[in-house]
Amino acid sequence: MATGIRQILLLGANGQVGFELCRSLAPLGQVHVADRSGGDGRLAVDLARPGSAAEVIAAIKPDWIVNAAAYTAVDKAEQEHELADRVNHLAVAEIAAAADEVGAKLVHYSTDYVFNGRARSPYVESHPTEPLGVYGQTKLAGEHALAERCAEHLILRTAWVYASRGHNFLRSMLRLAAERPRLTIVADQLGAPTPARQIADATALLLQTQDASFEAHKHWGTYHLTAAGLTSWYGFACAIIESAHQAGWLSAMPPITAIATADYPTPASRPAFSALDSGRLRRHFGIALPGWESGLAQVMGQLTDPQRILPNP
């Protein structure tokens, strides 16, 4: 499509990050929005179906593809290895090959779950990977397949993503705080809760910066992108509930007990230490996300339906 207007294909528009990308990318050009089923003027791209993404990419010939779709059910992936691999790996390989074919640049997201969580200091991009479960394995395989097939790519590894909508820890905590007299939350996994909106805004900035840079100054490859700071799920839960109480959404704060991962077994193992060093992104692009606490304040301010999540304030 040689219209002179930047053509962007967004895959996975219904997800936490995908939803925010619809807004962040809109000012940058014509955004062709795709989700799994299509409808309402959207394109249908089902990554579980071989050829689905490639057909759309060949038809649109976008300047940029932003892939926010992924199989993200970490525990279920242990049982659904084939589907997780199809969506997170084989479909990503297909997208990358199709992008290369039409000369599109590609933005893709990956995860802290590519690491084993046994590091003592924040992970840099070059740190050896060792996923602990199927989800991380398939995301890592997707990273490799993409890098092999499409040179002009950005893989943004992020972590602990949440938003004012969608399925996430923040919304689960608010619901549970209204339903249960007390909560028990894992305190020995550390990470940086990162708002989907900040990931989307950073993506839009990256896209603009790359397009505005001379060829020799374009930086492609893998980058870590998370909020600054570090907390545990327990610390995050306390901050969420305190903030909801202050907003008047909770009449009382349920007591929260810190527990160990060993006391809350899940089908998939999770990395205990998920801190990602985002310094490379700051050095190459001048992009750095604020601390997770200010991200939480921002997302709490975006909640439009606290009374639906918290039925008995």
User: Nearer Cβ to ligand NAP, position 150 or 250?
Assistant: 150
The active-site residue, picked from 71, 135, 162, 234, is 135
**Phi, psi at residue 276, to the nearest 5°?**
-110, 135
The tokens describing 26, both together, are 């809109």
Interface residue with ligand NAP among 36, 171, 197, 270 (CB under 6 A) is: 36
Shortest distance in whole angstroms from residue 312 CB to ligand NAP: 27
- Nearest approach, Cβ of 182 to ligand NAP (angstroms)? 25
| Helical H segments across 186-225, by residue range | 196-212
Q: Are strands 7-11 and 183-186 parallel, antiparallel or unpaired?
A: unpaired
Which one of 8, 17, 28, 31 is in contact with ligand NAP (CB under 6 A)?
A: 17
Of residues 66 through 85, those in contact with ligand NAP by CB under 6 A are 68-72
Structure tokens at 61: 């010939």
Nearest CA-CA partner of 112 in 270, 274, 291, 290: 274
Residues 92-131 that bind ligand NAP (CB under 6 A): 109, 111-112
Written as six digits, the tokens of 52 are 């689905």
Q: In angstroms, how far apart are the furthest CA atoms of the chain? A: 60
Strands 190-191 and 231-232: what pairing?
Answer: antiparallel
Where does this chain touch ligand NAP (CB under 6 A) — which range of 39-47, 172-180, 258-266, 296-304? 39-47
First CA to last CA distance, the chain: 52
What whole-number distance in Å separates Cα of residue 126 and Cα of residue 106? Answer: 20
Identify whether 223 is a catalytic site residue: no
In the bound state, the residue with its beta carbon closest to ligand NAP is 15
- Residues 292-311 binding ligand NAP (CB under 6 A) are none
Active-site positions read 135
Chain residues binding ligand NAP by CB under 6 A are: 12, 14-18, 35-36, 45-48, 68-72, 87, 109, 111-112, 139, 158-161, 166, 196
